[in-house]
Amino acid sequence: MAGSALILGGGVTGLATGIASGFPVYEAADVPGGICASYYVRPGRAERLSAPPDDGEAYRFEIGGGHWIFGGAPDVLTFIDTLAPGRRYVRHSSVYFAQDELYVPYPLQNNLRYLKDGIAPRALAEMSSRTKSDWRTMADWLESSFGKTLFDLFFYPFNVRYTDGLVDRVAPQDAYKSPVQLSLAIRGAFQGTSAVGYNVSYFYPTDGLSALAQRMAARCTVVYGRRVVEIRPDQKRVVFADGSEEGYERLVSTLPLNRRCWSRTSAPRRALDARPTTGCTSPTAERRFIAWASTATSIPCFCRPPPATPRTA
Ligand SMILES: Cc1cc2nc3c(=O)[nH]c(=O)nc-3n(C[C@H](O)[C@H](O)[C@H](O)COP(=O)(O)OP(=O)(O)OC[C@H]3O[C@@H](n4cnc5c(N)ncnc54)[C@H](O)[C@@H]3O)c2cc1C
């Protein structure tokens, strides 16, 4: 990359960009990793520690909830394993229905034999008579894929929580997490089926996620405690909470798009609001956003209609 460049955000995206480019990473927190990080709590205490205490007497939690590193790009897996060695694990996960004290192995739709009498045949009849294909929201897609019975029983209430209440507004996404295959659903109504899904096996660093983030951070220049409060693309300047400013030729922002740092005078409101209000969450849109930030010469349109088919990337 020619000229000066700034990378905003020291989560895994910003750290990887910092390693690849050699340019500095500006991070608001005093530790790296963003939501892909661990923290530690001593038994009976509430204080969060970013590293395990010397005596090792602490529980480990993760900021983003449970993280299992999945995916198959050999270069990436080798890179991660070199920095923070770990193990591969086989997934054992279930849906828990508290009222019935019932565990149904994931994915629910392929294990209908666990459900109360009458649910499996009804669910299969609904799944096999799917006709709708013009769904616009994730809720629409889930109901049309799995039928009303499974939608009401599990998919809707679960995804309300999973999307933080946006399931009726965002476009269908993460289809790979809810695989739809009628033949497996039918088989699973009577007998066991083989494990499917995106994380049948996964990797986890022995020393926790923070070890990975910290070792990535050690390979690049991270400036901690620098919270961006404003980005002025027209002036090519970034303003930090402590009042300092940095100029740039190119800017790579990995900040969550719902953090409004873009100067109101230079960033169109439509772009600022696009992700939360249109369900436009595609990586392409994010790339365009970054491209726009770095050049500040054109305004991308994020406000596309939701895709006609669920994304599987
Ligand atoms: C609950 C949950 C579970 C997940 N599970 C998995 C999983 O099992 N496997 C998997 O591969 N992925 C999982 N993911 C996705 C994965 O965590 C994210 O894709 C990844 O961590 C995003 O990294 P990032 O660097 O893009 O963003 P972030 O981690 O959000 O990093 C952004 C960084 O910017 C910083 N920042 C924010 N505002 C400012 C500011 N104003 N100025 C300066 N810095 C700022 C933040 O402190 C943060 O460090 C999960 C995500 C969640 C939420």
Measured by CA distance, the residue closest to atom 6 of ligand 1 is 67
CA of 125 to the centre of ligand 1 (A): 40
User: What does pLDDT average to over the chain?
Assistant: 82
Greater confidence, 282 or 124?
Answer: 124
Any ligand 1 atom below 6 A from CB of 259: yes
Any ligand 1 atom below 6 A from CB of 13: yes
Token pair 């009804």 in the structure block, residue: 122
Q: What is the pLDDT of residue 260?
A: 63
Q: What is the pLDDT of residue 133?
A: 77
Measured by CA distance, the residue closest to atom 36 of ligand 1 is 9
| Mean pLDDT of the region 29-57 | 93
For the chain, the maximum distance between any two Cα atoms, rounded to a whole number of angstroms, is 67
CATH number belonging to the domain at 5-87+205-295, selected among 3.40.50.300, 1.10.580.10, 3.50.50.60, 3.30.750.210: 3.50.50.60
Those residues whose C-beta lies under 8 Å from the C-beta of residue 309, and which sit 6 or more positions away, are 172
β-strands 5-8, 25-26 pairing: parallel
Position 309 pLDDT exceeds 50 = no
Any ligand 1 atom below 6 A from CB of 64: yes
Any ligand 1 atom below 6 A from CB of 256: yes
Among 36, 62, 91, 220, which residue has the most ligand 1 atoms within 8 Å of its CB, making it the best to mutate? Answer: 36
| Mean pLDDT of the region 31-51 | 93
Any ligand 1 atom below 6 A from CB of 228: yes
Position 300 pLDDT exceeds 50 = no
β-strands 25-26, 245-247 pairing: unpaired
Q: What is the pLDDT of residue 251?
A: 95
Any ligand 1 atom below 6 A from CB of 104: no
Reported as a pLDDT band with limits 50, 70 and 90, residue 281 is very low
Q: What is the SS3 assignment for 299?
A: coil
**How many CB atoms lie under 10 A from the CB of residue 271?**
20
Burial class (CB in 10 A: 0-12, 13-18, 19+), 269: exposed
| Mean pLDDT of the region 27-43 | 94
Any ligand 1 atom below 6 A from CB of 25: no
| Mean pLDDT of the region 140-162 | 95
Q: What is the SS3 assignment for 94?
A: strand
For the CA of 229, the closest atom of ligand 1 is 41
| Mean pLDDT of the region 171-181 | 86
pLDDT digits (tens, 9 = 90+) for 184-231: 999 999 999 888 888 888 899 999 999 999 999 999 999 999 999 999
Reported as a pLDDT band with limits 50, 70 and 90, residue 268 is very low
Q: What is the pLDDT of residue 66?
A: 75
Greater confidence, 91 or 18?
Answer: 18
Per DSSP, helices labelled H in 38-105 are 74-83
CA of 12 to the centre of ligand 1 (A): 7
| Mean pLDDT of the region 285-306 | 30
For the CA of 226, the closest atom of ligand 1 is 43
Position 232 pLDDT exceeds 70 = yes
Residue 113 in tokens: 């034999």
**Domain chopping of the chain, boundaries:** 5-87+205-295, 94-197
Q: What is the SS3 assignment for 196?
A: coil
Position 3 pLDDT exceeds 70 = no
For the CA of 227, the closest atom of ligand 1 is 42
Token pair 């649910």 in the structure block, residue: 119
Position 179 pLDDT exceeds 60 = yes
Characterise 164 by phi-psi region: left (phi > 0), alpha (psi -120 to 50), beta (else): left
Those residues whose C-beta lies under 8 Å from the C-beta of residue 109, and which sit 6 or more positions away, are 123, 127, 146, 150, 178, 179, 180, 184, 185, 188
Name the strands in the sheet holding 5-8, side by side, starting at the edge strand that comes first in the sequence. 222-223, 25-26, 5-8, 250-253
d(CA 276, CA 288): 16
| Mean pLDDT of the region 40-66 | 91
Q: Residue 245 corresponds to which amino acid?
A: E
CA of 114 to the centre of ligand 1 (A): 35
d(CA 276, CA 217): 30
Inter-residue contact 272 to 260 (CB < 8 Å): yes
